[in-house]
Amino acid sequence: MTNPAQDAPAASGPAALKVALLGGGTVGSQAARILTEDAEALRDRVGAPLELTGIAVRSRGAERDWRADPALYTTDAEALVDGADIVIELMGGIEPARTLIRRALAAGTSVITGNKALLAQHGEELFALASETGAQLSFEAAVAGAIPILRPLRDSLSGDTVTRVMGIANGTTNFILDRMDTEGADFADALAEAQRLGYAEADPTADVGGLDAAAKAAILATLSFGAPYTLDDVAVEGITAITAEDNAAAADAGYVIKLLAIAERATAEDGTSGAVLRVHPTLLPREHPLASVRGAYNAVFVEAENAGQLMFYGPGAGGAPTASAVMGDVVSIAQRIVRGGPARLRTPVAHLPALDAAEASTSCMVVLHVADEPGVLRRVAAVFEEHGVSLETLRQVQSDRAAAPGASLRLITHRARQRDLDATVDALAALDAVHEVVSVLKVEGN
């Protein structure tokens, strides 16, 4: 790889490193601001100036959170990539981001990206190309915004065995659920506010449908377990079905609903060792550390054999926080270009297959609307017993169905295999005495 900083004549100081920025939206405009306003401090840290050579956008005249010199905006992303020492990809989406990143890596140019959707689908192809050419592909911003979580997993915990990663990894959904829980906000209003604040993806169905958190779960699992996972390995359920009634039931039982991304080592019923990756709305006890994560903040709980439990917390979305993570990668890559040294490669070390989510061990809260007559409790409890699922609590509760004849029951199970919990719920739905399975929510942290 060429080293512009070392090639420069001594008298004029190290040559500037040319930084191409692909995308000038929520995060890109903040990265441009930091590169411009903090240029001196960055030069001191890197040992050479960082020169922002251009910002690739779709529309040169569009409104921006922070506007760079108008001459920097271009629609010719390829030309920008070709002249760069470092490329920052903040366009989002699969194409043209994938082709542009490939173009840079093929030329030996290191790339920083926050594009978890791309990494979770095509990461292995991009990392293989980077390792062929000696370029580096860095992506701290792709998971949990400003929170430094990927480096700790990759470096600090590399001498330990990570067994489980469980986190609130999507700011938009946490913002929506928090507003619904604390202010009784309407789902659509809370989503619109999250979009206005720059937390949501260009297509927010990736947020509310759980796919954004799933992409992050795949990335977290890949780094935690040293084996490659993709979006297809994650069982995904979003928050679109969560109702005000679910929130009320959760609050009444002492829980809060959070969208969790979980990656854990597990052993299947047939003895296969692997990992289960899942994203779903989850009930957490109000006193659990993740329950107090508010607004668009994220937090990731890591469990390792020797370190025990660690929690990483901070702003999970938004322009400036995410640009902070991007700039950390920029400085690290720029320092390597200036001082020399090999790129940091990502090599899978373990073969830990993704297991079906039915193999996961979890507990759940089931709310049933049942006939109010003798023997119903016994018949309901018998279904749990038949499927080997043990009950922690069973209570008759008030619910929106109170006006209808019958009674509402809230049952919370002990941990059981997901397959057995699913079969239990199916059998409950088929009982004559059960008028309706009102809700089934997974419970963690109890």
| Dist CA 35 CA 29 (whole Å) | 10
Contact 352, 274 (CB under 8 A): yes
Token representation of residue 157: 């915990």
Q: What Cα–Cα distance (Å) separates residue 171 from each residue in 147, 252, 285?
A: 12, 25, 20
* Amino acid at site 54: G
Contact 205, 244 (CB under 8 A): no
Q: Which of 27, 214, 220, 367 binds ligand NDP (CB under 6 A)?
A: 27
Q: Which of 50, 153, 166, 200 binds ligand HSE (CB under 6 A)?
A: 200
Give the residue nearest to ligand HSE (CB).
Answer: 172
Q: What is the DSSP string of 381-412?
A: HHHHHHTT--EEEEEEE--GGGGSSSEEEEEE
167 binding partner (options ligand NDP, ligand HSE, none; Cβ < 5 to 8 Å by kind): none
* Per-residue mark of binding to ligand HSE, 264-293 (x: CB under 6 A): ------------------------------
| Dist CA 176 CA 173 (whole Å) | 5
Q: Which of 23, 316, 406, 445 binds ligand HSE (CB under 6 A)?
A: 316
H-helix or E-strand containing 293? none
Judged by beta carbon, residue 15 or residue 90, the one nearer ligand HSE is 90
Q: To the nearest whole angstrom, how small is the minimum distance from the Cβ of residue 97 to ligand NDP?
A: 7
Judged by beta carbon, residue 200 or residue 327, the one nearer ligand HSE is 200
Part in contact with ligand HSE (CB under 6 A); list of ranges 37-45, 167-175, 306-314, 400-408: 167-175
170 binding partner (options ligand HSE, ligand NDP, none; Cβ < 5 to 8 Å by kind): ligand HSE
Instruction: Return the closest-CA partner of residue 88 out of 140, 123, 47, 124.
Output: 140
Q: To the nearest whole angstrom, how small is the minimum distance from the Cβ of residue 235 to ligand NDP?
A: 21
Token representation of residue 293: 């994560």
* Amino acid at site 92: G
Token representation of residue 37: 């306003």
Helix (H, G, I), strand (E, B) or coil at 167: strand
Token representation of residue 424: 């239990």
423 is a contact residue toward ligand HSE (CB under 6 A): no
Q: To the nearest whole angstrom, how small is the minimum distance from the Cβ of residue 229 to ligand NDP?
A: 18
14 binding partner (options ligand HSE, ligand NDP, none; Cβ < 5 to 8 Å by kind): none
* Per-residue mark of binding to ligand NDP, 143-172 (x: CB under 6 A): --x---------------------------
**129 exposure class (CB count in 10 Å sphere: 0-12, 13-18, 19+):** middle
Q: Is the peptide bond before 96 cis (omega within 30 degrees of 0)?
A: yes
Beta-sheet pairing, 361-370 with 416-417: antiparallel
Judged by beta carbon, residue 90 or residue 101, the one nearer ligand NDP is 90
Judged by beta carbon, residue 5 or residue 91, the one nearer ligand NDP is 91
Q: What does the DSSP 8-state code read for residue 177? A: H
Rule CB under 6 A: which of 71-130 touch ligand NDP? 77, 90-92, 96, 114-116
Annotated active-site residue 18? The verdict is no
Q: To the nearest whole angstrom, how small is the minimum distance from the Cβ of residue 377 to ligand NDP?
A: 48
246 is a contact residue toward ligand HSE (CB under 6 A): no
Q: What does the DSSP 8-state code read for residue 345? A: P
* Per-residue mark of binding to ligand HSE, 121-150 (x: CB under 6 A): ------------------------x-----
Part in contact with ligand NDP (CB under 6 A); list of ranges 52-60, 161-169, 176-184, 271-279: 52-60
231 is a contact residue toward ligand NDP (CB under 6 A): no
| Dist CA 197 CA 114 (whole Å) | 18
**3 exposure class (CB count in 10 Å sphere: 0-12, 13-18, 19+):** middle
199 is a contact residue toward ligand HSE (CB under 6 A): yes
- 18, 116, 216, 258: the active-site residue: 216
205: left (phi over 0), alpha (psi -120 to 50) or beta: alpha
Helix (H, G, I), strand (E, B) or coil at 322: helix
Q: To the nearest whole angstrom, how small is the minimum distance from the Cβ of residue 69 to ligand NDP?
A: 16
Contact 439, 366 (CB under 8 A): yes
25 is a contact residue toward ligand NDP (CB under 6 A): yes
Q: What Cα–Cα distance (Å) separates residue 440 from each residue in 150, 354, 381, 404, 436?
A: 33, 24, 16, 20, 11
Q: To the nearest whole angstrom, how small is the minimum distance from the Cβ of residue 26 to ligand NDP?
A: 4
Sites of contact with ligand NDP (CB under 6 A): 23-28, 56-59, 62, 77, 90-92, 96, 114-116, 141, 145, 198-199, 201-202, 317-318, 322
Catalytically annotated residues: 216
Sites of contact with ligand HSE (CB under 6 A): 145, 170-172, 199-201, 207, 212, 316-317
